Amino acid sequence: MSATEQIEIRRLGVTEAHAQLDGLAAVLADCVAGGASVSYLAPFSHEQARDAFEAVAAEVEQGRRLLLGAFAYGRLVGTVQVNLALAPNQPHRAEIAKLLVHRSARRRGIAQLLMEHAESEAQAAGKTLLVLDTVTGDAGERLYTRLGWTRVGVIPGYALYPDGRPCDTTVFWKALA
Ligand SMILES: CC(C)(COP(=O)(O)OP(=O)(O)OC[C@H]1O[C@@H](n2cnc3c(N)ncnc32)[C@H](O)[C@@H]1OP(=O)(O)O)[C@@H](O)C(=O)NCCC(=O)NCCS
């Protein structure tokens, strides 16, 4: 990140989530176009990406999920989610999902900032244990290791890349102090 670059990370409530639907969809569609294994297969349209974030906004409204946005000079360039709504016997646990940074904004520390804020927001919501999974060998895996997450192990062939090739997944956890 250049010294002059302004990155703002903030939690998006339901109103702002709706206002930012096109920006969120653009980031998701760009990540899928770039080959990221984040639930979707190619071809994946902007409209499909909007639909995905409409569903996220509904969960934000219900208090089931936190949604964060990263803004560079006011433009949404990254996002991450915290799924709060887990089983009744896991009230202390949350899951991090869909850490996405637009390809044009990568390698400036934006994902790291998003994760630091997501962890703080989860803690503020009373969570003491976080879990996530990510494609084995990708930038995400290095980032989570850097941020002190504990690697559980690898599940071979867990999901598919957008082009249909199988990919392995690494599961991580982190206890919040
Ligand atoms: C994984 C992902 C979120 C990382 O986003 P990012 O904003 O580029 O992440 P960061 O900038 O924090 O770190 C990425 C790399 O840039 C480096 N970096 C950070 N700031 C930097 C700077 N100012 N100058 C040069 N390099 C920098 C980091 O050290 C890191 O290096 P590494 O890959 O060798 O470990 C992004 O690649 C992405 O959206 N991928 C597709 C979706 C995905 O796989 N999500 C994760 C699982 S859901």
Q: How far apart are the first and last CA of the chain?
A: 28
- Which pLDDT score, from 0 to 100, does residue 177 have? 82
- Cβ(35) to ligand 1 under 6 A? no
pLDDT at 112: 98
Q: Is 94 in the pocket of ligand 1 (CB under 6 A)?
A: no
- The model's pTM is 0.97
Collect all residues with Cβ–Cβ distance below 8 Å to 21 and sequence separation of at least 6: 50, 53, 54, 57
Separation CA 93–CA 115 (nearest Å): 16
Residue 71 CA, ligand 1 centroid: distance in Å: 16
pLDDT at residue 156, as a whole number: 98
* Model confidence pLDDT, tens digit, residues 60-117: 999 999 999 999 999 999 999 999 999 999 999 999 999 999 999 999 999 999 999 9
Cα 48 from chain centre:
17
pLDDT digits (tens, 9 = 90+) for 120-177: 999 999 999 999 999 999 999 999 999 999 999 999 999 999 999 999 999 999 999 8
Q: Kindly state if the Cβ of 147 falls inside 6 Å of ligand 1.
A: no
Residue 100 Cα to ligand 1 midpoint, Å, equals 10
pLDDT grade for 5, boundaries at 50, 70 and 90: confident
Among 27, 71, 98, 107, residue to substitute to test ligand 1 (most atoms within 8 Å of Cβ): 107
Q: Name the band, by pLDDT with cuts 50, 70 and 90, for residue 4.
A: low
Q: What's residue 120's pLDDT?
A: 98
The residue whose CA has the least distance to atom 4 of ligand 1 is 111
**Which residue from 108, 97, 118 is spatially nearest to 73, judged by alpha carbons?**
108
Q: Is 162 in the pocket of ligand 1 (CB under 6 A)?
A: no
**Is residue 1's pLDDT more than 60?**
no
Strands 150-160 and 129-135 come out as: unpaired
Q: How confident is the model at residue 2 (pLDDT cuts 50, 70, 90)?
A: low
Ligand 1 contacts CB of residue 139 (under 6 A): yes
* Strand 93-101 relative to strand 65-72, pairing: unpaired
Q: Residue 107 gets which letter from DSSP?
A: S
Across the range 30-55, mean pLDDT stands at 98
Report the range of poorest mean pLDDT among 2-11, 24-33, 66-75: 2-11
Burial (Cβ within 10 Å: 0-12, 13-18, ≥19) of residue 140: buried
